[in-house]
Amino acid sequence: MESPRFLRKIVLAAALLCMAFGLQAQSAKYIEALKNYQQGETAEALRLFQEEFQENPSNDAACYYIAAICSNDPDRRHETENWLKRAIELSPDNFWYRYNLALCYLHTERPELAVPMLEQLTAEFPKKTELYFDLINVYLTDNEIEKALSTLDKIDAIRGRSEIVGLTRTELLLKKPDANPDSVYQSLADYYAECRTPRLASVLGDYFASTYRDSLALSYYDEALAIEPDYTPAWFGKAGVYQMLRQYGNFFSSISHVMRDPYVQPEAKAAQVEQMTANPQFVRTFSEEFDQMMLDLRTAHPTDSTINALIGGFWYRTGRPELAIEIMRQNMEQHPESFDAAMQYLFLLYYQQAWPALSDNATVAIQRFPESPDLLQLRAIALSQMKEYTEALQDYEAILRMHPKDTTVMKVTYSSMGDLYHQMGDAKNSYKHYDKALKIDPDYNPVLNNYAYYLSLEGKNLKKAKEMSRKTITAEPDNPTYLDTYAWILHLLGQDIEAKAIFKHAMLYGGKESRTILEHYAVVLEALGEKDLANIYYKQAAAMAADE
């Protein structure tokens, strides 16, 4: 649990007190207690400080340290206030005792006790500006904006104008019921004239950018960069203005400074880039600029998993799978503890049908994450494609042993085993495992479709196949694969007119991209006497086969 704000300040104040108390004659027990406290042995320190106080009831420092220790112990936190009060009774002029008691009141939601103490302390110690900020927080809680603003004036009078006061003043002015944003930011501009910092200039630029005053926004961003040429928020602001103005040359030039900054959070950069690359046409138009952006990101964060995944995905989507695979391989090696990094790399190998590499790297990942069925499934797929059927079946059996009661995992695994047995030419075991999957979920479309289609290839149980296939197109009426299976079964049952209607629907939803569907449609058209149209689809299917 995070320490309350006043408790953290107690600990900070303790370092100062060590010097002050070190000048006084202290007992060996007190010094031993202080040593334990500084080393984090708080239980022993508390015991010794309590003994010290019993032996020396005038030791205010012992009271203070007991309060500090109690404040960080949930079971003794309620004792903090009393120990601070004892310290104040013994040393009523001590600033830190009184200050931390005021903070204790704030933490325990008693501002009515804290405010008078803080106000008294500011009167006695006017140069301790941390007091003023504490008061401002209290005033804000009570919505006393004018008091908070007046307190800021005191800080300015003591320390001179500063960035934090200027920003706080702006925030306070915007909270007023009658706040006029233009007037508030004009006030900040006046403040900035005397306190020129890149942050204040960028805040002004952000406001004017948000109100579509592009030239004014850019002038403030340029002022920020004149003060600090590598000030990333200003470059980011400029990039946003140029993007809005569609000045993409200036946009990429500005955003590159952001991408090269290693101190900007990689997650924030990744979110920005993902938004920018969502439009493929935009990426194609500015391909060189995006390539440079990826290099900038890689340079700034060479081992960051989020950035590596982003770049790998970008290379893959832009037709450079070799680069994508290599960066994701490095990412998996750099982050052996990351399951996501492993899966991202393995999926790229899967999409590229790099079966030996997928099998070998899945084996490495399984050793690191032995409880994952997904990794076993990926290896089983790779092994089946390599015709290592026995090993693939062993992986599927291992998945079933790992999750004997997880029905989702079980039905997917039985489905995969059914497909694998069919690949092996073992129809009996194939249908046996399909039946097991359907026993768990009678409406599981992948199994219903494959089961029906394989029956149709054998020309067996066509009525059963038709019923299973009908369920799939009822559930997913625009799925071209399911439509093809159903239409083909209709053809085998002599219902070519009905089959033609189904195929025409499949053509509208991606059927033209499948050689098998084109061939099936051509067969049905030919059976109906539409030979010219059938020849068109035969030729399309043949052309597609030649390209495979």
Has residue 359 been placed in a domain?
no
Interhelix angle 60-71/95-107, nearest 10 degrees: 30
Query: Band of the pLDDT at 393, cuts 50, 70, 90?
Result: very high
Residue 395 has pLDDT above 90, yes or no: yes
Could you give the angle at the alpha carbon of 7 between the alpha carbons of 4 and 12, nearest 5°?
130
Give the tens place of pLDDT for each residue, 99-151. Answer: 889 888 878 888 888 888 888 888 888 878 778 787 787 777 777 888 888 88
- The residue ranking higher by pLDDT, 343 or 168, is 343
Has residue 548 been placed in a domain?
yes
Residue 398 has pLDDT above 90, yes or no: yes
Instruction: State residue 9's pLDDT score.
Output: 44
Integer Cα distance of 306 and 470 in angstroms: 44
> The tokens of 62 are what?
């012992």
From 92, 125, 158, give the residue that closes a domain: 125
Instruction: State residue 10's pLDDT score.
Output: 45
For 493-514, b/e burial (b = at least 16 CB within 10 A) is eebbeebbebbebbbeeebeeb
Integer Cα distance of 66 and 73 in angstroms: 11
From 125, 142, 167, give the residue that closes a domain: 125
Integer Cα distance of 214 and 241 in angstroms: 6
3-state secondary structure 180-244: CHHHHHHHHHHHHHHCCCHHHHHHHHHHHHHCCCHHHHHHHHHHHHHHCCCCHHHHHHHHHHHHH
Give the tens place of pLDDT for each residue, 299-322. Answer: 999 999 999 999 999 999 999 999
Query: Band of the pLDDT at 384, cuts 50, 70, 90?
Result: very high
Has residue 103 been placed in a domain?
yes
- The residue ranking higher by pLDDT, 17 or 396, is 396
Instruction: State residue 133's pLDDT score.
Output: 80
Give the tens place of pLDDT for each residue, 249-269. Answer: 999 999 999 999 999 999 999
**DSSP states of 270-311 as a string?**
HHHHHHHTT-HHHHHHTHHHHHHHHHHHHHH-TT-HHHHHHH
Report the predicted TM-score, pTM, of the whole model to 2 decimal places.
0.70
**DSSP states of 370-406 as a string?**
TT-HHHHHHHHHHHHHTT-HHHHHHHHHHHHHH-TT-
Has residue 541 been placed in a domain?
yes
Instruction: State residue 25's pLDDT score.
Output: 61
- The stretch 468-491 carries a mean pLDDT of 97
What size, in residues, is the chain?
Answer: 548
From 91, 125, 159, give the residue that closes a domain: 125
Give the tens place of pLDDT for each residue, 67-87. Answer: 989 988 888 888 999 999 999
Q: Do the Cβ atoms of 249 and 229 come closer than 8 Å?
A: no
Q: Do the Cβ atoms of 456 and 462 come closer than 8 Å?
A: yes
Instruction: State residue 48's pLDDT score.
Output: 92
Residue 13 has pLDDT above 70, yes or no: no
Half-sphere exposure of 309 (CA within 13 A, CB side): 21
Has residue 100 been placed in a domain?
yes
> The tokens of 175 are what?
């909270």
Has residue 277 been placed in a domain?
no
Domain containing residue 457: CATH number: 1.25.40.10
- The stretch 372-393 carries a mean pLDDT of 96
CB burial of residue 389 (10 Å; 0-12, 13-18, 19+): middle
- Pick from 426, 491, 478, 489: which is nearest to 455 by CA? 489
Per the structure, the count of domains in the chain is: 2
Specify the DSSP class assigned to residue 77: G
For 307-320, b/e burial (b = at least 16 CB within 10 A) is bbbbbbbbbbebee
Q: Do the Cβ atoms of 49 and 66 come closer than 8 Å?
A: yes
Query: Band of the pLDDT at 16, cuts 50, 70, 90?
Result: very low
Integer Cα distance of 99 and 80 in angstroms: 13
Compute φ and ψ for 474, nearest 5 degrees: -70, -40
Identify the three-state secondary structure at position 128: coil
Q: Which residue has the tokens 């022993």?
A: 44
Has residue 92 been placed in a domain?
yes
Integer Cα distance of 357 and 35 in angstroms: 58
Has residue 67 been placed in a domain?
yes
Q: What share of the chain is helix, strand, coil (3-state, %, to 5)?
A: 80, 0, 20
Note down the domain range covering 17.
1-125
Q: Which of 151-155, 164-168, 413-417 reaches the highest mean pLDDT? A: 413-417
